[in-house]
A and B are shown apart, each in its own frame.
Chain A
Amino acid sequence: MSPVTTTLTCIACPIGCALRLTHEGRDIVELAGATCDRGAKYAAEELIDPRRQLSTTVAIEGARSARLPVKVTRPVPRDRVLEAVAAIHRLRVRAPVRAGEVLLEALLGEEGLAVVATRSLGRVGP
């Protein structure tokens, strides 16, 4: 395999160094542009398994608001964010619900990726 060079912006701190990353598959051959060590760590994670935190809302019935905010307990693979959101949006919840309540386990079939409510909503009306 021949080395490939990509650029990314380090987000480990607000400076936002432009990193130039040369890698062969999963091995980083050369890293330029990082002003500190955290840049290297960030680059390695971004290269091997980039993940993102994900929160969205789901429809809720019988509550004072139409949407219930939810989050995924651990970061999801960056390239599967849209797929994950689609699966979460299929959920339907009925009030009452408590913050922290698990609404879906093993999102994307991955152990440890749970979808939980991020607020409590009481039941209103019948």
Chain B
Amino acid sequence: MLGRMEGDYDVVVVGGGPAGLAAAIGARDAGATRVLVVDREDEAGGILLQCIHAGFGLHYFKEELTGPEYAERFVARALDRDIDVVGSAYVSGAGLDSDGTRRVRVMREGHGIRTVRSRAMVLAMGCRERTRGALHIPGTRPAGVLTAGLAQRFVNVMGLLPGRRVAILGSGDIGLIMARRLTLEGCEVVGVFELMPFSNGLTRNVVQCLGDFGIPLHLSTTVVEIHGQDRVDKITVAPVGADLAPDLSRCREVACDTLLLSIGLVPENELSQGLGVELDVVTQGPRVSSTLETSLPGVFACGNVLHVHDLCDYVTEEALLAGRFAGELAGGVKRPRDNIRVVPGDNVRYCVPHTLAPGREHTIYLRSERPLRPAAIRVGDLVRRKLGFVTPAEMITFRIKPDVLDRFHGEALRIDLLGEPAGPHLAGAEP
């Protein structure tokens, strides 16, 4: 029930976004009776609550929902299953009892610090956005430089406008969606500047969020300086060469009072690190087994804290699995350790999970390093399949049938993406 937190639990889930809610449901459906979801915000739903546009649930609900609708349905499903959901509560750490039970430390508004015992734990803390510090943009430090997601929260939840004349650095989906959102709210969006020669967002967002409103997308261009005393008054932009270094001889100034950054997301893993969970240097999320278990026994991870997903439906799918395995572990199910390592090969930035076991079906999530077309995936010498078109903006999901791994006798399974480098053709994009 909403707000109840008492006794011991089978599974405690940290984070009440789509990942946390689905993990709790997965655990409950796998037989765990006592499941708790803890979120530091005053209500569950995570980032979805500020994503008011449609585009969620096509895979899972077979209809296109907005973020808040998707969240509300999941919260209702969790409560229907007698899952305890508490808000305004922060998980700051967890200890380990000699019998393997975790003691989860929860700081809760108005209740102080409590320790909750649980057999299994699921990490679902989501991600945060990269900020100006990650890019080292030179210049002054005026007000008006903020991440696109923060602006989204200002506008969609708090009803505040971040500025009037807005430039956007980075063509990730959140930046593209905010370009449209701010235009609808009466702001002038002067342009989107993207370092890479291709957009990092979905083509549909480039067309519908920029093209429809005549907002220019400047590829292979970056911001080299921010100007302004108290408030941003202009930025300097410059084209970049093949080495991504800006050509300062061709820089120009763009007047604006706000600069939004849409330059990538980073899994939020302070808690994981505090627990001693081993992280992957590429995803910056935990290394997990084929049951989505981290290097710490009984601690699972899913959603954006594990690796950044572009589609919420995939978060849900992955989290249902993580929850199921956590629920089974809490119920005493023991599985043999994985004995196959997954190795990202040509054109593959990363693969999750990091290890596999024969005898079960697996879903592998991977991301390419560059756009490829036509593309194909090669899994060791076991499987080779055509994919059509791949781009770093879209995660690839690939299922491996149980019998496939039975034919594999090595220790390391290499996954390659093959194909010709390509760029999506974007009408209207200019250098």
Contact = CB atoms under 8 A, between A and B. Distances in A.
Interface of A: 7-9, 11, 13-18, 52-53, 55-57, 59, 64-67, 69, 71, 78, 81-82, 85, 99, 118-120
Given A16-B426, A67-B159, A85-B184, A9 B211 contact: yes
B425 A57 contact: no
Given A9-B426, A15-B424, A66 B54 contact: no
A66 B161 CA distance: 13
Contacts of A9: 203, 206-207, 211, 425-428
Interface residues of B, number: 38
Contacts of B64: 53
A65 B71 CA distance: 16
A49 to B, nearest CB: 15
Given A16-B203, A55-B52, A65-B158, A119 B68 contact: yes
Given A9-B425, A66-B159, A67-B159, A53 B69 contact: no
A64 B202 CA distance: 33
A45 to B, nearest CB: 13
28 contacts: A8-B207, A8-B427, A9-B203, A9-B206, A11-B203, A11-B207, A14-B202, A14-B203, A14-B204, A14-B391, A16-B207, A16-B424, A16-B426, A52-B212, A53-B64, A56-B184, A59-B159, A65-B157, A65-B159, A66-B157, A66-B158, A69-B52, A69-B66, A71-B54, A81-B184, A81-B212, A119-B68, A119-B72
Nearest to A66: B159
Given A11-B208, A55-B53, A17 B425 contact: yes
A82 B184 contact: yes
B243 to A, nearest CB: 26
Interface of B: 42, 49, 52-54, 64, 66, 68-69, 71-72, 155-159, 181, 184-185, 202-204, 206-208, 211-212, 373, 388-389, 391, 393-394, 424-428
Given A17-B425, A118-B52, 16 more contacts: A9-B203, A9-B206, A9-B428, A18-B427, A56-B181, A56-B185, A57-B155, A57-B156, A64-B42, A65-B157, A65-B158, A66-B158, A66-B159, A67-B159, A69-B66, A78-B212
The 9 closest A-B pairs by CB, nearest first: A16-B203, A66-B159, A119-B68, A69-B52, A16-B424, A18-B425, A11-B204, A67-B159, A9-B427
